[in-house]
Structure 1
């Protein structure tokens, strides 16, 4: 299976010469927080720029000095296995795809692997060996502003909510938080930044950090007031194929994992499925 069969050919990118403000505008409009960078007027790939680059260099305006040169790439004729291997090795969610002239030809992502590769491979192995035993969990009566801080400190984009009986009651995401919050201008300085693991998602944490704005969350709102209550879940014997199908169908990146008695025992993320794919390819 070749990369060209799986990759997305429609690519949003930045150009050099270019500026910080141009990159931020593209990111904000597209919902992306990582962009391939090409030489202006061509498709020649010269680098990558992510939200982390913007965070690490808050006063730099030139894109040429912000971007990372010599990014990790795959070629259109490479096997998909190589793309998966690079994603696992470097902990990244997407890879630029180049042709023989090193011109940008597409993007291949974890989502592409989940939605296009796993169904072809028909992997019936259970997720038992791949799901995470450490769960970013929180009490569903926790004030939302505290939950946001917990999410930030964990570097997680979601929290699994538990009720008074310590049973799964919902999932809280950053999108749920921003719906109930107000983002206002502020010169507040932060001591840490979001993790690089989410570089391809434009999230509320990105907005707060990059634009030096403050997220104001009403103190009387609890996690249970805004969380998603209808949770799509799996058990430890659910197959890789079925897990991927649910993620693709419901457009979600993570699924709580329950044991045979319905007790929460873990969570599986889309990127956790890559190891199973690599074994089969």
Structure 2
């Protein structure tokens, strides 16, 4: 029974965290090194925010963690059960919840992936075709520029997109994790002109103005301008549409993937099953 599985039984306790004050580079290094999608932010050892890959991609020029993070995130206790966590994650659209004690001290993290992994042993027999999501953008062409794909994913609030070739064959998947891993920090010097003159007619010689040029450094996250096929994952883990929820959860757990392409009996791609959609089977049970 889902109610008997507690957060403390499945949560991750070895959690890399950022602290205030801090910089974007600190968070970016954690995301790349630990291969996680979000980092809790601490102040005086208490959880005050979370920074995710989406926060970084949405604010490529911001460097301060305090301005990047989502403040006062929803939290959960170790003694709560996974069904409650799944309901929170589905209702608010999050991928992770900090697990805290009564004083908001960090004890661990629980993610969508952790919950889906636990579903593998719950004998949930509904076919996964029942939980295929229909929202967001559809497949994209493998020659599409990566910055365009990243922007479309940001606008649609989705984490992964299937990639098709010109023959409409499924050839890969791109996720926000892949985009962050391929991105770099780019520093540039930019200029701003500030006029020292009055508001005279700009067409007269008398209105020629002294101009003060101010140069300033800008640091931003840059998504490389390459076709998406150069960054996408091509070693795909697929699932059949009649596979049960628990079978699919086990496959996702074993292969450590957040989404699987679903194919019909003829092997034709029919949709991308994201782990968060699979949690609905747990909530409905």
The Cα offsets for residues 195-232 of structure 1, whole Å up to 9 and x where unpaired, read as xxxxxxxxxxxxxxx941434435xx673x66444422
Query: Over alpha carbons, which structure has the higher Rg?
Result: 2
Report the RMSD for the aligned CA atoms in angstroms. Answer: 3.4
Contact 1:183 1:216 in 2 (8 A): no
Pair 1:266-2:271 in alignment:
yes
- Residue 278 (structure 1) shift: 1.3
Aligned to 1:149: 148
The TM-score with structure 2 as length reference comes to 0.71
Matched residue SS, 1:75: coil
- Residue 139 (structure 1) shift: 2.9
Aligned to 1:217: 225
- Residue 163 (structure 1) shift: 3.4
The TM-score with structure 1 as length reference comes to 0.72
175-184 or 270-279: bigger deviation = 175-184
1:229 to 1:184, Cα distance in 2 relative to 1, 3 A: same
Q: 2:244 is matched with which residue: 239, 242, 263?
A: 239
Aligned to 1:131: 132
Which is strand-richer, 1 or 2?
A: 2
1:46 to 1:185, Cα distance in 2 relative to 1, 3 A: closer
Pair 1:86-2:91 in alignment:
no
Matched residue SS, 2:13: coil
Matched residue SS, 2:84: helix
Distance 1:46 1:176 in 2: 27
Contact 2:184 2:223 in 1 (8 A): yes
Aligned to 1:13: 17
1:187 to 1:111, Cα distance in 2 relative to 1, 3 A: farther
Pairs within 5 Å for 1:105-124: 105-115=107-117, 117-124=118-125
- Residue 37 (structure 1) shift: 3.0
Contact 2:132 2:273 in 1 (8 A): yes
1:263 to 1:187, Cα distance in 2 relative to 1, 3 A: farther
The Cα offsets for residues 109-137 of structure 1, whole Å up to 9 and x where unpaired, read as 1111122x202312121112101245631
Alignment length (residue pairs): 246
- Residue 161 (structure 1) shift: 2.6
Distance 2:186 2:140 in 1: 26
